[in-house]
Structures are given as structure tokens and as C-alpha cells.
Amino acid sequence: MNNRVDLVEKITPWRESWKVHVKVVKLWYHKNPALDPSQNLLHMVLMDEKLHKIQATIRDQLILKFSVSLNEGDVYLMTHFTVVPNTALNRVTKHRFRLLFQYNTSVVSVVSPRIPHSGLCFASIDEIDQMTKEHNFLIDFVGIITGVRKERDVASYGKLVKAVVVEVFADGKRVQCNVFGNACDLLEYDKLQKYPRSPLVVLESFKIKVIKGGVILQNVINVSRLFINSDIPESVEFLSRFSVASYGFSRLVTNDLGYLVSKVDGDYFNPKEITNIQDLHSDNGIWDSGKDSGWWVYWFVCSA
């Protein structure tokens, strides 16, 4: 019996058989609103003990076969895939390839303490600020919420989608985050105002958008996730490194304009510094949607 396990970073299409020992660090279903309702997909991010990651996809006709045995956070021994180029418009891993499950793909649950990492890999605010063009790789980010503004709902495929603008503070700088869809439910004013100090937010798989005058982050509907005051080790490490005690963060309060704001070192967040979503739309911008191999990202395309 061959007990050899392959490293995720070594996977290529030029070999037929692969066996990986991996943790499911992210799992999400997708129903494409522009295609036939039956065209559903189940996506995963798999990570091995070396912390290398690869995306895997299960097509509609195989979802029932595999979904009952797959859980986010669990570890598996997996074999027999089709390996294809990872040419997605928006990629959740940097691996050149991704895996497609087949009918004969084997998934065996294993007990393993060797992959405790959450799979999050935070980009620094300096790395984000230095972006001069958009990339197709989605990033993770962590910071303190210092401003929240509800926007008017926007239309998408005949439905109204919630929109919220969030300001996140990290390492002495601030970045704007546009959030659309159900993720906005976590940013309701009454929920955020219950915290005694401005809460910490983890942004998972967010798009970096380069716009006129700066850089913003934006969620990808069905893919991106937000976590408020998460107790994962990476959040604790950020707070320890960030030395939160050295900043005078206040509780989020409503200002005269109806926005949630906080103080950082005694200065109120200035909502005028944040780009308005409606202004982006009206200022020769285009509300567009980009489709990509089974899941969709919504964004504003701003004119130069």
C-alpha cells in the first residue's frame, strides 16, 4: 500500500494520480443568478500541513455525493482529481492550478492535529496602499472599524442588494471597504454600537479595487466573509502586535449625518473622506458584474 502523500504546491496536470492530506479552510456554495438554477457549484480551499493552498470545485451533479462528508475545518485524505489551470478572474489561492472532483474522487476523514492554522493570510495596509493596478487574487485583511455608512440599496439581477461603506483602521492608516449583499447584516448600527470599543473586523477573500485617487477593498458576493471580534488566533495576534491600548478607540456613535463614527487618538473619522458609492455610479461609472467559472463578483468600474 502506498502511504505517500503529495504536497499541494507540487500539484500539476502532468501527473494523473495525486493524494493529498488537507484541511478544508473555506467552503461555499454558489448559485449563479445569470445561469440555469441547476448550475450550482461547491467550492473549497484546501490547505496542507505546509500551509500551501489550492482551490477545489465540485460540479452540480456531484454535490450530493460529496457534500454530506465535507465540513469546513475538518481534515481529509483526498485522491483522484482532474487538475486544471487556475485562470479565474478572481482567485482565492495563488496556486497555478485547481482541482475538479470526479465521480471516483475519494474523500476520507482523518483525525490530525497537524493543520491547526485557519488558512487566513493577512495583507498589510502598506501592501494594499502600494497597489497601482487591480489583481485577480483576493486578499485577507484585519483591522479596527472606525466608520460605517449605510448606502442606498443597489439593483442586481432584478433584486435590491444592500450596500454599506466601512472604514477600517490598521497600523496608523485607514482603508475604505465596500460591502454588498447579506454581509451587510453584520454591520447593522445597533449590533456594532453594543461593543464598548470599536470592534475588530476580519475580511476574508476581498477584492482590491484601484480607483481614481486611491485603493479600496470590496467583497465578492458568495465568496467573501466578514468576522466581527473573532477570537481566532490571528485576530488575537493582531491585537497584541497592534498595541490597541496605545490608541484611544471610542465606542461607535451616530453623528449628525447618521453615520457611525469613532475616535482614534481623539480625532473623529471624517465621512467626507470616503468615496460615496452613488457618486461612483453617477460619475461616469458603470455598475457591472464580472462572471468567472461559476461565481460572480460585483464591482464599480470607474472611468479614468
Measured between alpha carbons, how far is 212 from 299 in angstroms, rounded to an integer? 14
Name the percent of the chain lying above pLDDT 90: 55
Q: Which CATH architecture has domain 8-110?
A: Beta Barrel (2.40)
pLDDT at 301 over 60: no
Question: Residue 41 has what DSSP assignment?
Answer: E
Question: Residue 147 has what DSSP assignment?
Answer: E
pLDDT bin (cut points 50, 70, 90) of residue 168 is very high
Looking at residues 245-250, what average pLDDT do you find?
66
Looking at residues 221-237, what average pLDDT do you find?
89
238 vs 284 pLDDT, higher one:
238
Digit-coded pLDDT (tens) for 102-134: 999 999 999 877 788 899 999 999 999 888 787
94 vs 36 pLDDT, higher one:
94
C-beta of residue 201 within 8 angstroms of C-beta of residue 175: no
pLDDT at 192 over 60: yes
pLDDT at 26 over 60: yes
Alpha helices by DSSP H, the chain: 60-67, 125-129, 189-192, 233-242, 277-282
Closest CA to 8 of 48, 62, 59: 48
Looking at residues 155-177, what average pLDDT do you find?
89
SS3 152: strand
pLDDT at 163 over 80: yes
Per mean pLDDT, which of 56-60, 167-171, 266-270 is the most reliable?
Answer: 56-60
pLDDT bin (cut points 50, 70, 90) of residue 247 is low
Could you tell me the pTM of the whole model?
A: 0.83
Amino acid at 300: F
125-301 folds as OB fold (Dihydrolipoamide Acetyltransferase, E2P) (2.40.50)
Among 37-51, 60-74, 136-150, 230-244, which is the least confidently predicted range? 230-244
C-beta of residue 263 within 8 angstroms of C-beta of residue 251: no
- Return the exposure string of 236-255: e unless at least 16 CB atoms fall within 10 Å of the residue's CB, then b: eebeeebeeeebebeebeee
pLDDT at 288 over 50: no
Looking at residues 282-297, what average pLDDT do you find?
37
Measured between alpha carbons, how far is 166 from 164 in angstroms, rounded to an integer? 6
C-beta of residue 185 within 8 angstroms of C-beta of residue 219: no
C-beta of residue 263 within 8 angstroms of C-beta of residue 248: yes
- Confidence (pLDDT) at 286: 29
pLDDT bin (cut points 50, 70, 90) of residue 300 is very low
pLDDT bin (cut points 50, 70, 90) of residue 248 is low
Same CATH fold assignment for domains 8-110 and 125-301? yes
Q: Is 284 exposed, middle or buried (0-12, 13-18, 19+ CB in 10 A)?
A: exposed
Domains of the chain: which residue ranges?
A: 8-110, 125-301
Cβ-Cβ contacts under 8 Å for 211 (sequence gap 6 or more): 275, 280, 300, 302
pLDDT at 268 over 80: no
